[in-house]
Chain A
């Protein structure tokens, strides 16, 4: 059986080996970029069908960010939105015959989670200043400093493993079922995979929002009770 933790390089540019997930990532980025540029060119004040859908997406995204962070969503919209759309398209790209979703390999997820980690530190330092951001690690008392630092690392790691495990296990199960029984049996599993992919993209984006929100606020992530208060 194929080892899901190792990827074979397809070809190499100079000393850099290029694997299939990297090619898939480039293709997805090119498609998203072309779509975004095409949408921007045809923006009008009387929106047609495509523009209405895009505006609906952006409004929903803004609402989610505002509910979670209780702040103006403008500085975070592009990052969170790009992460959400990219992970969603990458998870659903398994529908294209012969393509394996790039998120089914741990390197892609590690790159995404590292982006979230760097963004957390960046937004924390930018809104609070370096001193206050570092001081927020000593909340509620200095005893918690090692725990808070470890928390930063483990939650990034769990972000990687969660996305990797969910997408990879979907691909794996479909491969096993396909090798056991013909054509039609994997189809319901593929439908389930679509649902898992969408939920995981949503969760990745929400967790990125929660992490950035907690770094920006200085204390801990807003608890469920606080969230409920803010939205009602």
Chain B
């Protein structure tokens, strides 16, 4: 019974972790891309540098979402309490 309960809670918390963990990075990536678009529109000759910096920045932001994913995977597949 307790093991079942732990599994149910694990699955729920994994879904919650990914769901809420994706919210912040999604908003942040939207802001970053919007700012980069504005900068490219204002200064098209700097598009190369801007997009390189943008890609690196997006990778940094995205890492937080990936952390949430890894936590969810740990909870699902490597749970110490099951």
> Which residues on A are within 8 Å of B, measured CB to CB?
3-6, 64, 67, 158, 161-162, 164-166, 169, 199-200, 202-203, 206-207, 210, 224, 227-228, 231-232
Query: Is B66 on the interface with A (CB-CB < 8 A)?
Result: yes
Task: Indicate whether B28 reaches chain A with its CB closer than 8 angstroms.
Answer: no
| B contact face: mostly helix, strand, loop, or mixed | helix
Known contacts A161-B67, A210-B56; A227 and B77 CB within 8 A of each other: no
Given that A161-B66, A161-B67, A161-B70 are known contacts, is A231 also in contact with B49, CB under 8 Å in the complex?
Answer: yes
B4 → A minimal CB distance (Å): 18
- B55 in contact (CB, < 8 A): yes
CB distance from B53 to the nearest CB of A (A): 5
Q: Which residues in window 30-79 of B have CB below 8 A to A?
A: 46, 48-50, 52-53, 55-56, 59, 62-63, 66-67, 69-70, 73-74, 77-78
- Give the Cβ gap from A154 to chain B, nearest Cβ, in Å: 10
A3 to B63, alpha carbons, bound, how many Å? 21
- Taking residues whose C-beta sits less than 8 angstroms from the other chain, chain B's interface range is 10 to 19
Q: Which residue of B lies closest to A159 (CB)?
A: B63
Question: Please, which residue of chain B has its CB at the minimum distance from the CB of A229?
Answer: B49
Given contacts A162-B59, A162-B62, contact A227 B69 (CB under 8 A): no
Inter-chain contact A5/B56, CB cutoff 8 Å: no
Task: Please tell me if the beta carbons of A202 and B63 are within 8 angstroms of each other in the complex.
Answer: no
Interface centre among B53, B55, B56 (most CB of A within 10 A): B56
Do B70 and A206 have beta carbons less than 8 Å apart? no
Contact assessment for A4 and B66 in the assembled complex, using a CB-CB cutoff below 8 Å: no
- Within the assembled complex, what's the spacing in Å between the Cα atoms of A169 and B69? 9
Compute how far the CA of A130 lies from the CA of B59 in the bound complex, rounded to whole angstroms: 31
Min Cβ gap B29→A in Å is 13
**Min C-beta distance of B27 to chain A, whole Å:** 19
Chain B residues near A231 (CB, 8 Å)?
48-49
- When A161-B63, A162-B66 are in contact, do A207 and B56 touch as well, CB less than 8 Å? yes
The reply to whether A67 and B66 form a contact with Cβ atoms under 8 Å apart is no
Among B46, B50, B59, point to the contact of A207 (Cβ < 8 A): B59
Of A4, A158, A162, A227, which is within 8 A of B53 by CB? A227
CB distance from B20 to the nearest CB of A (A): 17
Task: Select A203's contact among B46, B49, B59, beta carbons within 8 Å.
Answer: B59
Report the bound CA distance from A215 to B8 in whole Å: 47
Query: Which 6 pairs, one residue from A and one from B, show the smallest C-beta to C-beta distance?
Result: A165-B66, A203-B59, A3-B77, A224-B53, A231-B49, A158-B63
In whole angstroms, what is the CA distance A5 to B73 when docked? 8
Q: How far is the CA of A210 from the CA of B63 in the complex (A)?
A: 17
Identify which of B55, B59, B63, B73 contacts A4 (C-beta below 8 A).
Answer: B73
